[in-house]
Amino acid sequence: MFQLRPPYRRLVAVESSREKLMTLDLHGIIPPLVTPFGADESVLEDAVRAEVRLHLDAGVHGICVTGSTGEGASLSAQDTVAVARAAVKECAGSRPVIAGIIRDSLSDVVRYGQALKETGVDALQITPVHYLFTPDGETTFAYYERIAAEVGLPIVVYNVVPWATIDPVTLARILDDIPLVVAVKQSGGDIHALATLLHLGPTGGKVLTAIDDLLYPSFTLGAAGAIAATLTVVPGLCVDLWNATQAGDHATALAIHNRLLGVWQAIGGPNMPARIKVALAMLGRDGGQARSPMSPVTDAERAQLEQALRDAGVL
Amino acid sequence: MARTLTKEDIRGVFPPALSTFDDNEDLDLDTFRRELAYLRDLGATGFVIGGSTGEGHALTPAELHTLCQVAIDEVRGEIPIVGGVITTYTRDAIVRAQAARDAGADGIMLTPPIYQPPSDEGMVDYYDRVWREVGLPIVIYNVVPRAPVTPELTERLADIPGVIATKESIGGNLETLGRIIESVGDRIAVTWAQDPLMFPGYAMGAVGSISGINTILPEHSIRMFDAIQRNDLATAAAIHYQMTPVARAIGLVNWPAGVKAAVNLQGRKVGLARRPYVPLTPEQHSRLEQALDACRTVAG
């Protein structure tokens, strides 16, 4: 298992990055939005803005675009900038906007990060490199340190790739020792790693959860918020879950947890972006099409989605 | 395009070429050519450009184009050049495959989408659409554990006219290799690419390999393949036990850096991997050096 060796070495914060960091508050329900595409797979910016507006009206605490749910791995730097710009405009400073970067080399990440700088996004959500062979902890630390130095925007470390996981000790060190890293998003279905990370108690940034079927337990363990696919399907319910948990109303929170579980089970797994977009269409929203090779959803999957949304009480 | 690549072309020891970089991480084409010439002269049956060993995940489509062009110029039609396509979504796969085609490559080697797994239908659509849009023969590259090309899927993909071969790597195992040889071995070339298990894969009937170890230890790889072809299992096994400690010492963590270190240690200077893959630690380096020292002379 993980070797726990606190306390961590603390570096003196870089003053120039402090001002931005002082005002940035990432917490609560931060849904990762879908990226609506037209039939020709181009980005539909108006539909992006409509989705952002819907989430703001639902009372979310922030917006995340171009993550996994947003098919970020399919987006060119230009597409990513277009989506981020649309989201920033629609939010108009009312809530923080995070833009995702899912790339496989340092130079590519820096290229996307620099392109995103002008959009006014508040932070970047960045995966480790993840094509088959993963770097070790030291190398991953150096990777985020380098991105921070070259791009200069706050960073959310996106620990999502099942075959390229970053261990909790390394995550805590990244949070504590790289001033521009403001949060970690712990995904990959591993609540054990989340518990270990929260137990280590890094003070240099927030720990967010992306364990869709265990949001309620994540919040009770002390996660500062969530960026998870379920949030974009049923943002209002997720805000209610967050509020109930924060108020210590566990009966309500548990009831909401049980309504949410089926939603995740219906959208999770292969072909996820396409399934989420079908769910949005059932709810009367325009998520557009998914990009190929995401494929049409089967009748059985459609029926499961419909049932889950009914059980959740949103359809 | 000088030829139409067929299943008969994908055989033997078919090394995935290293992409070589200078200190700024820009392409170092002179070194790239030198490596290709070296491996060709040893008896390589073809090259994949921009595969995993060639850090295809970190190349732009334009760089893939350049490397394919230089490779084609270097081999002058003597052996096939296949472009690696390692990416996330169909539209980018098409852009990369077109870059390889426009450079004159004979085929492409295509992984499943490497980040988000599609459904089985999506997987078939991926290979089919790239074939229809680009028209270059395709080698399936079964290397993504979370998006495996199962034997059932391989059978479906083998129905696509452009699919001529498969490279069974860590998306499968020796059992799936056997099932694929049984089910589609008469229609497509079934090759094998798990560095620590080349010997059993060849013995089961894989017709060749496009594996990193071919580039790391080319002489050993060729001698082992030849030994299997003449049913000399004792020699093949002896070479196997020379090669596997090297594969183990490289490991999978930080792999691109390990591969280049192994090649550099043998005197073929190929520079470093693209970041974030960084040079090995002194301990890793000396472990690798020991493994290489132990197999300096090819057994048999």
On the CB side of A220, CA atoms within 13 Å amount to: 13
pLDDT of residue A151: 98
Residues 6+ apart with CB under 8 A from A39: A289
For chain B, the first-to-last Cα distance in angstroms comes to 40
Asked if the Cβ–Cβ distance from A272 to B116 is below 8 Å, we say yes
Question: What is the rounded CA–CA span in Å between residue B181 and residue B188?
Answer: 9
Put simply, the answer to whether A295 touches B278 (Cβ < 8 Å) is no
Q: Do the Cβ atoms of B253 and A135 come within 8 Å?
A: yes
Q: Residue A32: is its pLDDT beyond 50?
A: yes
Higher pLDDT, B65 or A1: B65
pLDDT, tens digit, 9 for 90 and up, residues A270-313: 999 999 999 999 999 999 999 999 999 999 999 999 999 999 99
Checking if the pLDDT of A10 tops 70, the result is no
Q: Which helix (DSSP H) or strand (DSSP E) does residue A63 occupy?
A: strand A63-65
Chain B residues closer than 8 Å to A66 by CB = none
Chain A contacts of B253, Cβ < 8 Å? 133-136
- Given the residues A185, A206, A216, A277, select the one marked as catalytic: A185
Cα separations (Å) of B94 from A106, A288, B6? 23, 22, 21
Q: How many CB pairs under 8 A join A and B?
A: 120
Predicted TM-score of the model (pTM):
0.92
DSSP state of A126: E
Task: Kindly state the DSSP code that residue B17 receives in the 8-state scheme.
Answer: P
Which H or E run includes A125?
Answer: strand A123-126
Q: What's chain A's average pLDDT? A: 93
A130, A291, A292, best to mutate vs chain B, most B CBs in 10 Å: A292
Q: Nearest CA of chain A to the CA of B170: how many Å?
A: 9
CA distance A62 to A82: 18
pLDDT at A1 over 80: no
Give B89's DSSP letter.
S
A119 interface with B at CB cutoff 8 Å: no
Q: What is the mean pLDDT of residues A250-257?
A: 98
pLDDT tier, A19 (very low <50, low <70, confident <90, very high otherwise)? low
Residue A14 pLDDT more than 50? no
Q: What is the model's pLDDT at position A163? A: 80
| Region B259-278 average pLDDT | 97
Distance between CA B42 and CA B125 in Å, rounded? 38
CB within 8 Å of A115: residues ≥ 6 apart: A77, A78, A80, A81
Taking contacts as CB-CB distances below 8 angstroms, the residues of chain A near B145 are 163
Contact (CB<8Å) A74/B58: no
What share of chain B has pLDDT > 70, as a percent? 99
pLDDT tens-place string over residues A76-112? 999 999 999 999 999 999 999 999 999 999 999 999 9
User: Could you read off the pLDDT of B233-254 as tens digits, one per residue?
Assistant: 999 999 999 999 999 999 888 9
Average pLDDT over residues A213-232: 98
Our answer to whether residue A185 is catalytic in this structure is: yes
Confidence of residue A6 (pLDDT cuts 50, 70, 90): very low
**Which residue is listed with tokens 């009367």?**
A284
d(CA B227, CA B243): 14
CB B111 within 8 A of CB B89: no
Specify which residues B139 forms β-bridges with: B109, B165
What percentage of residues in chain A have a pLDDT greater than 70? 93
Per the CB < 8 A criterion, the answer to whether A230 and A264 are in contact is yes
Identify the weakest region by mean pLDDT among A1-10, A32-41, A208-217: A1-10
Confidence at residue A22, expressed as pLDDT on a 0 to 100 scale: 67
Q: Region A20-26: what's the mean pLDDT?
A: 79
* Pairwise CB contact (< 8 Å): A104 & B143: no
Determine contact, residues B81/B44, Cβ cutoff 8 Å.
no
Residue B90: its chain A contacts at CB < 8 A? 291-293
Interval A175-202: pLDDT, tens: 999 999 999 999 877 899 999 999 999 9
The predicted structure's pLDDT at residue B2: 52
Question: Would you place residue B3 in the very low, low, confident or very high pLDDT band (cuts 50, 70, 90)?
Answer: low
Question: Chain B partners of A295 at a C-beta cutoff of 8 Å?
Answer: 118-119, 121-122, 125
The answer, yes or no, to whether residue A7 has pLDDT greater than 90, is no
Mean pLDDT of B199-220: 97
Among B227, B218, B228, B225, smallest CA distance to B300 is for B227
Give the model's pLDDT for residue A8.
35
Going by pLDDT thresholds of 50, 70 and 90, the confidence category of residue B39 is: very high
Q: Which helix (H) or strand (E) holds B132?
A: helix B120-134
CA distance to partner chain B, nearest, from residue A254 (Å):
30
User: Which phi and psi angles does B235 have, rounded to 5°?
Assistant: -65, -45
What is the pLDDT at residue A161? 84
Number of other residues whose CB lies within 10 A of the CB of residue B298: 17
What tens digit of pLDDT does each residue of B134-186 get?
Answer: 999 999 999 999 999 999 999 999 999 999 999 999 999 999 999 999 999 99
One-letter identity of residue A259: R
- pLDDT given for residue A162 in this prediction: 80
Surface of B (93-132) touching A: CB under 8 A: 113-119, 121-123, 125-126, 129
- Render pLDDT for A121-172 as a digit per residue (tens, 0 to 9): 999 999 999 998 889 999 999 999 999 999 999 999 999 888 889 999 999 9
Cα(A300)–Cα(A222) distance, integer angstroms: 37
CB within 8 Å: A106 and B119: no
pLDDT of residue B62: 98
Task: Please indicate whether, in this complex, the C-beta atoms of B276 and A134 are within 8 angstroms of each other.
Answer: no
